[in-house]
Amino acid sequence: MIPFEDFEKVDIRVGKIIKVEDFPEARKPAYKLTIDFGSEIGTKRSSAQITVHYKKEQLVGKLVLAVVNFSPRQIGPFISEVLTLGLPDESGGIVLICPTIEVPLGGKMF
């Protein structure tokens, strides 16, 4: 178990996907996402292995949750600045964790 204070160190925010690109260089099928987290955090990029359940056109405008305070990670030729959150389905395809109603961009998960 971890103390609650350790969980509080993880900064999970809501953002809106504003751009989706193919990522053919990735080892596993993935998209390059550009996500707007509002004025406090700004726009960040993320690599996400979500191609099983989502087409690029479905993702633009979608609200997602992401960890915004991890160090950037090099994924092939791409720098992923945030970790977009999802859960695996029974076959391992990733399903995004998303708010079910509109909330302000940059809102912090509690």
pLDDT value for 110: 86
Would residue 10 count as lying in a domain?
Answer: yes
Would residue 77 count as lying in a domain?
Answer: yes
Specify the length of the chain in residues. Answer: 110
Would residue 105 count as lying in a domain?
Answer: no
Model's pTM, two decimal places? 0.96
Gyration radius of the chain over CA positions? 14
- Distance (Å, whole) CA 57 – CA 35: 15
Residue 35's CATH number: 2.40.50.140
Would residue 12 count as lying in a domain?
Answer: yes
The residue range of the domain holding 57 is 4-96
Q: What is the pLDDT along the chain (110 residues), one digit of tens a residue?
A: 999 999 999 999 999 999 999 999 999 999 999 999 999 999 999 999 999 999 999 999 999 999 999 999 999 999 999 999 999 999 999 999 999 999 999 999 98
Beta strands in 27-85 (DSSP E): 31-36, 43-48, 63-67, 73-75, 78-80, 83-84
What domain count does the chain have? Answer: 1
**Which pLDDT tens digit goes with each residue over 29-50?**
999 999 999 999 999 999 999 9
Would residue 70 count as lying in a domain?
Answer: yes
The contacts of residue 45 (CB under 8 Å, 6+ apart) are 32, 33, 34, 35, 78, 79, 80, 81, 82
Q: Give how far Cα 45 sits from Cα of 1, 3, 5, 14, 103, Å.
A: 31, 30, 27, 13, 20
